[in-house]
Amino acid sequence: MKLLIVDNTAEGQSRCARRIESFHQSDVEMLDLRVKLVLGKDLLQSLDEADVLVLGSGLGEEGATLARNALNRMPWLHVIMYVSEVAYSGGAFRSAHAAGVRKVLPDNASPLDLLQELVAIFQEFRREGRVREGRVVCVAHAKGGTGATSICAALAEVCSVHRRRSMLWDLDVETRDLCRALTVTGPTAKVVSSWVNGTREINRDSLQDALIPVSQDVSVLMPPDSMAEAMDLVCHTDGIEICQNILDIARVVHDVILIDTGGRIGPATGALMRAADEVVVVIDDTILGLTALDLFLSYAKALVLGPERLSFVVNGYTGEMLALSQIEAELEPAHHLGEKPWSLPQVPLDPKAVLWPGSGRTLYSIGQRSTRAALEGIARQLQLIPDSGASAYSDDVQRSSWWEKLRSRKAEFPTGGGRYGGEGSFGNEEG
């Protein structure tokens, strides 16, 4: 969000800029603030570079005139205006509002008043699609062995083929199935630990240091390297704020954030499920899968505040058991979810599904044509990729995608001595 600060003196400009500098760095980065200082006489020449115009009190009565001229040229501009305490008490805000100013603040107002207004503007920009807002999908499961990690990784590859900048977040802090299946390891997990123990601040630079890129489009965020800090992150209430700060910054710099919760529901993962745009519950086609989902829904509906952001993916396990329509028929009378959660395509039984961990590929590129079609359909309905009927997959996807880079890294570090482990660094997929 671009801020244009205008005043008639350098001192006045600096006074406004210091208010921005007093914000917490995480707030600056969440709002993606970029600030430019100009004199009142140069306003119109710089106006095209602004989303928000901040007028300093040194402009006096000229401030309302500048606001009116700016809004005549750019009606969608948001204008915040500072006035002296005397002018404010004298009703200067009346003429300012008549000129179209959004907010008038006295010079002695707290910087938090400005921050609050900028946050409100940023939320409006999000709703209008004027700023990047990464789409967040939490991938969960009601019981182990359903293929949640397979689906999460495969959706990331679908996004990469469509050149969507994505972050894979492994929150399976106990078995780290996603990282092990992708043979991703390294010292960057220490950065995540430093966020938990408070030795490093969560900001855009530290997030970049924590991410392991597997292409120019997709990166992986590992769990903390210490089990104690990993459990603090997902099980302690302090983890809620940590995860929320990570998510706020990730939304600004990524198009898609895919979170593998590992099936653990704690304070932090619960908060992420509430904050997510979509919670995808991966289930299998067995009787145990159905009964586990029944129990899961008893608290998940309240956790995500209703069924509007819930979706179910049936991942073919036996190929001969329950179809999604049968599961819906069993559970819908008790849970009253409506049609939307049951609308995603079913992933068919695929004999190659067990082969992807450690291969440098995912179920998307290693699977059969019907599997790819189902995964692309899921990604479209979740709004992770453009809503187009054409498939972006080709036989050259291995050579053009991030998985080729992953394979080259494995060849560079065949025994797991580098950033990416070798063949022995991954385990059986969690399912």
The reply to whether 430 falls in a domain is no
Average pLDDT in the chain: 85
Residues 370 and 255 in one domain: yes
Range with the lowest mean pLDDT among 26-40, 267-281, 408-422? 408-422
**pLDDT over threshold 90, residue 149:** yes
Residues 122 and 143 in one domain: no
Average pLDDT rounded to a whole number, residues 115-144: 87
The domain boundary, picked from 80, 101, 128, lies at 128
What's residue 215's pLDDT?
75
Q: 283-310, pLDDT tens digit by residue? A: 988 888 889 999 888 888 888 877 889 9
Among the listed residues 347, 384, 148, 428, the one whose alpha carbon sits nearest the alpha carbon of residue 264: 148
The domain boundary, picked from 128, 155, 189, lies at 128
Q: Find the domain containing 99 and state its range.
A: 2-128
The domain boundary, picked from 70, 103, 128, lies at 128
| Percentage of residues of the chain with pLDDT beyond 90 | 46
CA distances from 290 to 152, 275, 319, 334, 429 (A): 21, 26, 15, 13, 21
What's residue 369's pLDDT?
93
Residues 120 and 175 in one domain: no
The reply to whether 112 falls in a domain is yes
Residue 200: CATH number of its domain = 3.40.50.300
Going 100 to 106 to 111 to 112, the CA torsion angle's sign is negative
Give the pLDDT band (50/70/90) at residue 347: very high
What's residue 174's pLDDT?
87
Average pLDDT rounded to a whole number, residues 307-334: 84
Residues 172 and 203 in one domain: yes
The reply to whether 431 falls in a domain is no
Residue 80: CA count within 13 A, CB half-sphere: 22
Q: 203-217, pLDDT tens digit by residue? A: 889 999 999 988 779
Q: 349-397, pLDDT tens digit by residue? A: 888 888 999 888 899 999 999 999 999 999 999 999 998 755 665 554 4
Residue 102: CATH number of its domain = 3.40.50.2300
Residues 311 and 370 in one domain: yes
**pLDDT over threshold 50, residue 425:** no
Residues 257 and 358 in one domain: yes
Residues 95 and 124 in one domain: yes
Rounded to whole angstroms, the Cα distance separating 313 from 148 reads 9
Domain count, the chain: 2
Better pLDDT: 21 or 132: 21
Better pLDDT: 429 or 64: 64
Average pLDDT rounded to a whole number, residues 35-59: 87
The pTM score is 0.75
What's residue 46's pLDDT?
83
Residues 70 and 157 in one domain: no
Q: 75-95, pLDDT tens digit by residue? A: 999 999 998 888 887 777 788
Residues 350 and 215 in one domain: yes
β-strands 211-213, 218-221 pairing:
antiparallel
Query: Among the ranges 223-237, 298-312, 386-400, 411-425, which has the highest mean pLDDT value?
Result: 223-237
Residues 112 and 142 in one domain: no
Give the pLDDT band (50/70/90) at residue 322: confident
Residues 121 and 173 in one domain: no
Rounded to whole angstroms, the Cα distance separating 353 from 367 reads 7
The reply to whether 310 falls in a domain is yes
**pLDDT over threshold 60, residue 414:** no
**At a CB cut-off of 8 Å and minimum separation 6, what does 408 contact?**
none
- Torsion (CA) 121, 124, 126, 128 in degrees, nearest 10: -130
Rounded to whole angstroms, the Cα distance separating 178 from 431 reads 10
